[in-house]
Amino acid sequence: MSFFAILFALLIEQVRPLARHNPIHASLRAWARWASRNFDAGKPHHGWVAWSLAVLVPSASAVAVHWALVLTLGWAVAVLWSVAVLYVTLGFRQFSHHFTGIRDALDAGEEAKARELLVHWQQVDASELPRSEIVRHVIEYSVLAAHRHVFGVLAWFSVLAAFGMGPAGAVLYRMSEFVARYWKHRNRTLTQPASAALQSAAARAWAAVDWLPARITAIAFAVVGSFEEAIDCWRNYAQRFPNDNDGVILAATSGAVNVRLGGEALRSAYSAGGSPGYRAGGAEAMDATESTPGREAEVAHLAQIVGLVWRSVVLWMVLLALLTLARLLG
């Protein structure tokens, strides 16, 4: 039934996307704040307790509701519950408007507007970014957003649903990503900052949760793109990125569409206290140190990225449809 739940959730999300400021996401932020405020005492085990409450309790609740519905109202209602959870946790429309706005601005030759939209989206210093670097940033952020909002959620949902855990995988993945990002952001605020122990626990847990989905996404990109180049780039250049899981995805993307990604600008976004803006030094410096091989990023690559992502979605749905059919016939 995972196929139907995902299909309906994606269709509903395309027709009526979830508003950015909605009570569900507000409740999750309040839950994460409550967990950190009451259990973050600065020690490593306190960090894990707070993370477990913030992530595992909602995941377990999703399983409990799923089986309560199965036992009382039947599988059809349980599928509707999965659709509702997927609608909240996945979707292109949660980030695609940023991508579309920047792409349209670049198509119209409005680079200043594209920089402004990029700053609004990622809070990076884009004032000195040349056109090719704007495109490269958009590709990298969009691919990672597609992974975290779509493919990662689908991976964990499909795996745990196969073991009878309903939509728990979608909640686990989304909450793991959210608290790691949210507590890191809270540390920069003056009110109730998250401790280093809590941030470390959340970051380590997120890296573990995202390990398998990142590689599934990279394989999907390789299958629907240029397979040999994607695998070669994955094997030889993934380690050049500051984050292992993101590096696998971006390296595979680079080979799949033959575009140069990475470089000092992306690394600065991950460095502690670094300014996530463009670092001068030229293309030669990036080629020699951090970036992958490939063509300079151009606006035409944005259409290729869109095609790559949608072909990967189709691949996911075909595989799930075949598995569902085999289960029904078997």
Cα 224 from Cα 226, distance rounded (Å): 7
pLDDT category of residue 170 using cuts at 50, 70 and 90 = very high
Radius of gyration of the chain (CA): 20
Please tell me the predicted confidence (pLDDT) of residue 126.
75
Choose the weakest-confidence range: 249-258, 287-296, 298-307, 316-325.
Answer: 287-296
Domain count, the chain: 1
Say yes or no to pLDDT of 269 above 60.
Answer: no
CA distance 135 to 114: 9
Instruction: Tell which residue, 276, 299, 310, 309, has the closest CA to residue 105.
Output: 299
Phi, psi for 259 (deg, rounded to 5): -135, 140
**How far is 245 from 215, CA to CA, in rounded Å?**
8
Domain that holds residue 30: 2-329
**Token couple for 91:** 């979707």
Determine the pLDDT at residue 299.
92
Is a pLDDT exceeding 90 seen at residue 274? no
pLDDT attached to residue 278: 36
Spatial distance between the Cα atoms of 252 and 249, rounded to a whole number of angstroms: 5
Q: Using CA atoms, how far apart are residues 207 and 242, in angstroms rounded to an integer?
A: 12
For residue 207, what pLDDT is reported?
96
Q: How many Å apart are CA 267 and CA 260, to the nearest integer?
A: 14
Query: In terms of Cα–Cα distance, which of 188, 191, 211, 183 is closest to 48?
Result: 183
The strand pairing partners of 259, in sequence order, are 295
Average pLDDT on 187-208 reads 85
Please give the pLDDT value at position 313.
94
In tens, the pLDDT along 104-119 reads 999 998 988 999 998 8
Cβ neighbour number for residue 188 with a 10 Å cutoff: 8
Q: Residue 196 pLDDT > 70, yes or no?
A: yes
